[in-house]
């Protein structure tokens, strides 16, 4: 494989680097947080509080406090839901799929993307509850034996969602955890006896000693989970896309949705990885481990998925025309020219045009520009969901009902809250868990490399 031919680290630096330093550098991230960290934490906690209050206010008064305007019965909450599920994707992609493909460049970044996955799913999982009219009856959605002799409707994509998301959450958090075990052990060994850290690490490391036997089991388990997680990358977002594709709403009812959503998810996911990676690298001085080489690889992935999304948009247009359905045509035309054109064009430019800059390798390897672009892509993908959901509904079958929806402060509040919630967990994580895979980084050091290569050939 091309990646393995080019070691992640240049000779010179490889000489200079010793295992101890790897461990030291990585575990350095766990040291007592600085002022910046507390400042950020304070910020996200405020945001979270705002979001929580908005939600309480909504529960007290009813969903009407959100901006819903029939026929727009779904809006920002579902937009956020799909957005976060999307974010959750690259995680598994980078860690599982690239692992199976032995793409070495993943090593430096997969831990971050995995944690991102878990926290993003945790965030996404809130929205189905937030958008319920009577959240206090949410348990009607859970299949449990009840005195009413009633079950959920297994024909409903929303129930599929329930299972898809929970499965995905279970697997990805397990995957993250297994991957962490050796590093936790490393952390445990350097933690002072009797501190809470030591106690925590000892419990979570499950008595890891780094023996050959443990390593063998570990690799098996990891490989196994990687295999298990890979199909989920496709399944979960396909199911999410069916929330729309299974409906008859023009602009939703389309067979391309599953692949289109998966590509979009990976697109936004990779963007988010970059968004997080860039500052992290700076703050923790991980320049030696996360190099512009990794960035370049991520950028290519971003470009690829951007092209797929671009293609999906084009196909939508084609189908709208080719299907001969006046309703599809009307919706597509309205999307480009109607009252929500502003959102549609934000989406087109952020997802299709701006990423075209990635053809230039100078951009691909520039931390600054990649950061900017990744932000744009995040925005663009949020608007993609906004447009798909709201614009399609607003221009539905019944001309009598056509109307225009505007979000209210409650919806913005809860959206801000969801971002805060996500970053809160992330901030906690980087201070509690090693945010890079120590063991695997070591694997990449020159001496190991030969063996690794042989291992690969042996397997192949």
Partner 1 sequence: MERRDFLKLAGITGAGTLTACDQKVGPKYLIPYLVPHEDVTPGIPTWYASTCRECPAGCGTHVKTREGRVIKLEGNPESPVNRGKLCARGQAAHQHLYDPDRLEGPKRLDGGRYVDGSWDDSVRALAEGIAGASGEVVLLTGLQTGTLNRFYDEWAADRGVTRVVYEPFAHEPILEAHRRVFGQASIPAYDIAGAEFVISFGADFLETWVSPVRYSRDWAAMHAVKEPGGPAGVFVAVEPRLSMTASNADEWLAAKPGTEHLVALAMANVLGAGGESAGWSPERAAEATGVPAEKIVEMAHRFGGHRSVALPGGVSTQHAQATAAAMAVALLNQAGGAVGDTVRLSPSTSGAVAGSYRAMADLTARMKAGRISAILFAGTNPAYALPPGLGFTDALKQVGLRVSFDPLFTETASWCHLLLPDHTPLESWGDWEPEAGVASIVQPAMTPIRDTRATADVLLAVRRAAAGEPAAAPATAPAGASLEAESWYDYLRAAWSDRAGDEQAWAALLKAGVWTGAVTAAAPAVATPSGDAAGAPTPAESAPLEFGPAEFEGPEGNDAFHLLLYPQIAMYDGRNANQPWLQELPDPATTSSWHTWVEVNGKVAERLELEDGDVVRLESPYGSVEAPVIVYPGVRSDTVAMPLGRGHARMGRYAKHGVNPVTLLPPVSEIHSGALAYQRVRVSMSKTGAWVEPLKAQGSDSQHGRGIAQAVPLAEIIAANGHAADDHGEAAAHHGEPHTRERAAADSGNTSPYRWGMAISVDSCIGCNACVAACSAENNLPFVGPERVAKSRQMHWIRIERYFEDRPDGDLETRHVPMLCQHCGAAPCEPVCPVYATYHNMDGLNVQVYNRCVGTRYCANNCPYKVRYFNWFNYEWPEPLNWGLNPDVTTREVGVMEKCSYCVQRINAAKIAIKDEAPDAVIPDGYFQTACQQTCPTDAITFGNLKDPASRVARLAEGPLAYSVFEHLNTRPANFYLRQVTGRMGAAAEVARAEPEPVAAGADTAAGGGGE
Partner 2 sequence: MPMASRLRRPILGTLSVLAALVSAACAEDRRVDILVEKAPEQPVLFYHTIHAGQDQIPCAYCHFSADRSEEAGIPAVGTCMGCHRFIQGSTPEFQQNIQVLMEFAADSIAIPWVRVHSVPTFVQFPHKPHVRAGVDCAECHGDVASMEVVERVAPLTMGWCIDCHRQRGAPDDCATCHY
Site for partner 2, rule CB under 8 A: 139, 144, 146-149, 203, 206-207
- Window contacting partner 1 (CB under 8 A); options: 67-75, 257-265, 357-365, 421-429: 67-75
Q: How far is CA 344 from CA 238, 384, 420, in A?
A: 22, 7, 26
Residue 196 partner contact from partner 2, partner 1, none using kind-dependent CB cut-offs of 5 to 8 Å: none
Sole residue written with tokens 């009607």: 140
* Sequence-ordered list of residues with C-beta below 8 angstroms from that of 48, at least 6 positions apart, any chain: 417, 420, 421, 424
Residue 56 interacts with partner 1 (CB under 8 A)? no
Q: Which does 73 bind (CB under 5 to 8 A by kind): partner 2, partner 1, none?
A: partner 1
Which CB, 68 or 376, lies closer to partner 1?
68
Q: Which does 155 bind (CB under 5 to 8 A by kind): partner 2, partner 1, none?
A: partner 1
Residue 319 binds to partner 1 (criterion: CB under 8 A): no
Provide DSSP, 86-99: HHHHHHHIIIIIHH
Looking at the chain, how many residues does it have? Answer: 460
Six-digit token string for 126: 């809130």
Give the residue with the Cβ less far from partner 2, 145 or 458: 145
Please give the Cα distance from 332 to 336 (Å, whole number). 7
- Tokens representing 124? 């996404």
The CA–CA distances, whole Å, from 303 to 104, 358, 360, 440 equal: 19, 6, 11, 27
Residue among 10, 15, 46, 156 that touches partner 1 (CB under 8 A)? 156
List 10, 46, 61, 166, residue binding partner 1 (CB under 8 A) = 61
How far apart (Å, rounded) are the C-alpha atoms in residues 78 and 75? 6
Does 74 interact with partner 1 (rule: CB under 8 A)?
A: yes
Contact partners, residue 249, CB within 8 Å, separation at least 6: 392, 393, 396
State the minimum distance, in angstroms, from the CB of residue 198 to partner 1: 45
* Nearest-approach distance from CB 405 to partner 1, in angstroms: 9
Sequence-ordered list of residues with C-beta below 8 angstroms from that of 9, at least 6 positions apart, any chain: 17, 288, 444, 445, 446
In angstroms, what is the minimal distance from the CB of 129 to partner 2? 14
CB of 233 to partner 1, least distance (A): 24
Give the nearest distance from C-beta 328 to partner 1 in angstroms.
12
- Let me know if 307 is exposed, middle or buried by CB neighbors in 10 A (0-12, 13-18, 19+): middle
The footprint of partner 1 on residues 162-221 (CB under 8 A) is 162
Q: Residue 131 interacts with partner 1 (CB under 8 A)?
A: yes
103 or 388, CB closer to partner 1? Answer: 388
Applying CB under 8 A, the span of 2-10, 21-29, 241-249, 348-356 interacting with partner 1 comes to: 241-249
Interaction of residue 63 with partner 1, rule CB under 8 A: yes
Q: Report yes or no: 411 and 72 within 8 Å, Cβ to Cβ.
A: no
Interface with partner 1 (CB under 8 A): 61-64, 67-71, 73-74, 131-135, 137-138, 140-141, 150-153, 155-159, 162, 243, 246-249, 326-327, 330, 393, 396-403
């Amino acid at each position: 494989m091309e990646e393995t031919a080019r070691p992640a680290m240049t000779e010179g630096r490889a000489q200079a680097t010793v295992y101890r330093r790897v461990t030291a550098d990585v575990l350095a991230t766990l040291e007592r947080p600085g002022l910046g960290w507390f400042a950020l934490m304070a910020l996200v906690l405020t945001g979270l509080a705002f979001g929580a209050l908005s939600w309480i206010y909504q529960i007290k008064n009813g969903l009407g406090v959100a901006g819903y305007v029939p026929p727009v019965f779904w809006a920002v909450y579902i937009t956020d839901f799909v957005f976060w599920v999307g974010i959750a994707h690259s995680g598994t992609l980078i860690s599982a799929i690239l692992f199976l493909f032995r793409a070495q460049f993943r090593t430096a970044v997969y831990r971050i993307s995995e944690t991102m996955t878990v926290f993003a799913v945790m965030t996404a999982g809130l929205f189905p509850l937030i958008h319920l009219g009577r959240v206090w009856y949410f348990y009607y959605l859970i299949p449990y034996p009840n005195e009413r002799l009633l079950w959920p409707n297994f024909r409903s994509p929303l129930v599929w969602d329930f299972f898809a998301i929970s499965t995905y959450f279970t697997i990805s958090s397990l995957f993250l955890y297994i991957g962490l075990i050796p590093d936790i052990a490393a952390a445990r060994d350097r933690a002072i006896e009797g501190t809470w850290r030591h106690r925590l690490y000892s419990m979570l490391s499950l008595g890891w000693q780094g023996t050959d036997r443990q390593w063998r089991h570990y690799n098996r388990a990891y490989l196994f989970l990687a295999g298990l997680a890979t199909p989920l990358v496709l399944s979960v977002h396909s199911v999410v896309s069916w929330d729309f594709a299974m409906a008859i709403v023009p602009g939703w009812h389309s067979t391309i949705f599953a692949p289109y959503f998966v590509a979009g998810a990976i697109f936004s996911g990779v963007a988010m990885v970059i968004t997080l990676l860039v500052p992290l690298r700076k703050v923790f001085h991980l320049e030696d481990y996360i190099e512009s080489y990794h960035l370049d690889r991520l950028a290519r992935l971003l470009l690829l998925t951007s092209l797929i999304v671009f293609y999906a948009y084009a196909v939508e247009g084609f189908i709208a025309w080719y299907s001969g359905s006046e309703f599809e045509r009307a919706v597509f035309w309205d999307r480009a020219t109607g009252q929500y054109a502003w959102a549609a064009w934000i989406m087109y430019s952020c997802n299709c045009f701006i990423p075209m800059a990635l053809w230039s390798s100078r951009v691909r390897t520039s931390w600054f520009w990649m950061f900017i672009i990744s932000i744009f892509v995040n925005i663009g993908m949020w608007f993609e969901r906004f447009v798909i959901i709201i614009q399609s509904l607003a221009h539905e079958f019944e001309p009598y009902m056509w109307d225009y929806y505007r979000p209210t402060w409650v919806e913005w509040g809860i959206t801000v809250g969801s971002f805060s919630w996500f970053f809160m967990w992330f901030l906690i994580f980087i201070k509690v868990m090693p945010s890079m895979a120590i063991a695997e980084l070591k694997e990449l050091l020159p001496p190991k490399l030969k063996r690794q290569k042989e291992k690969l050939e042996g397997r192949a």
